[in-house]
A and B are shown apart, each in its own frame.
Chain A
């Protein structure tokens, strides 16, 4: 790196990022106190930690309960499904322990470049989001790991590099 770039680098190092606001700092310190005292739940400890998995199983259970209870086409006695759904969710969150949940992103290495009608050079990048969730059924001890992949298409102005 030549001297002129080193000079720019040194100038950048002299620019100081803004400090945290007093309000933000106080809030973070209170948050740390809560975390240390164990009075704030993290995502890992959340009773609804099974999130989408719990929701999906709860919905299927609720449907079974609903159908078993006479709620099917033409024979809706009214109001049973929503209460059954609540019960099913309680069963799911009570019966499963969330062991682990990880989410990470994978970037696409081959962005597609195109010129828009406005004459802008834009690029399309596909980002891949992987979610891996492991839950354990308390009674049977069965451990299930579910991995899902979501694709997100990002359309943005092309950078100069």
Chain B
């Protein structure tokens, strides 16, 4: 492999190391399990490489990567039968050991509740939370990606936070009698 290819390889690997957790978190919102999400990421890498041909195969911007992941996720869901997938996903997301948010990183009660409640948010809301909080995208980028207006993206985000706030309050009250 030539020096140019080696340098390009290093750039892609650095990009991947930095972006993989964000992209995987997003992929997990569209897949049944961690393995499928990792497969999706590998498929996305191949597509992104081809897309970047016009830009000398440099690593892509994050919004483009999310866009490719979204398309692949939709395609994946369609192939598996989305209805069945959603039903299974609701069950699977309840399992801590299969959570896409790392439970070893924090151990507070609130964090634990939040992690579970994010997983049980409706798809549309979870997707915006995912892209904003862990994807680091702006509302404009999210709007473009999901083909919705910036205001709708911001409203969904706010509504999702309100839902989480309500659930958190309710569960804390229940747990503490």
| B140 touches A (CB below 8 Å) | no
The total of interchain contacts (Cβ-Cβ below 8 angstroms) comes to 144
Give min CB distance, A20 to chain B, whole Å: 4
A12 lies within 8 A of B41 (CB): no
A31-39, A69-77, A135-143: which one contacts chain B?
Answer: A31-39
B101 lies within 8 A of A15 (CB): yes
Question: Contacts A20-B24, A36-B1, A37-B1 given: A8-B41 contact, CB under 8 Å?
Answer: no
- Our pick among B12, B20, B114 for the contact of A20 (Cβ within 8 Å) is B20
Give min CB distance, A21 to chain B, whole Å: 7
B114 lies within 8 A of A12 (CB): yes
Give the residues in chain A near B78, CB-CB below 8 Å.
Answer: 152
Question: Contacts A4-B165, A32-B9 given: A159-B147 contact, CB under 8 Å?
Answer: no
A12 and B157 CA atoms in complex are apart in Å by 12
Question: Contacts A18-B25, A155-B83 given: A161-B41 contact, CB under 8 Å?
Answer: no
Give the residues in chain A near B111, CB-CB below 8 Å.
Answer: 11, 14-15
| A110 touches B (CB below 8 Å) | no
| B82 touches A (CB below 8 Å) | yes
- Our pick among A13, A17, A21, A155 for the contact of B102 (Cβ within 8 Å) is A17
A45 and B31 CA atoms in complex are apart in Å by 28
A56-64, A85-93, A98-106: which one contacts chain B?
Answer: A98-106
Give min CB distance, A133 to chain B, whole Å: 14
- Chain A residue nearest in CB terms to B148: A107
Give min CB distance, A31 to chain B, whole Å: 6
| B172 touches A (CB below 8 Å) | no
Question: Contacts A11-B110, A161-B159 given: A37-B147 contact, CB under 8 Å?
Answer: no
- Chain B residue nearest in CB terms to A1: B158
Which A residues form the contact surface with B (CB < 8 A)? 1, 4-5, 8-9, 11-21, 24-25, 27-29, 31-33, 35-37, 40, 42-45, 103-107, 127, 152, 154-157, 159-161
Q: List 17 A-B contacts (CB under 8 A).
A: A8-B164, A15-B106, A15-B118, A18-B100, A20-B21, A21-B38, A24-B41, A25-B20, A28-B45, A32-B45, A35-B46, A36-B8, A37-B1, A42-B49, A160-B122, A161-B122, A161-B156
Which B residues form the contact surface with A (CB < 8 A)? 1, 5-6, 8-9, 12-13, 16-17, 20-22, 24-25, 34, 38, 41-42, 45-47, 49-50, 53, 57, 71, 74, 78, 82-83, 86, 99-102, 105-106, 110-111, 114-115, 118, 122-125, 129, 133-134, 147, 156, 158-159, 161-165, 168
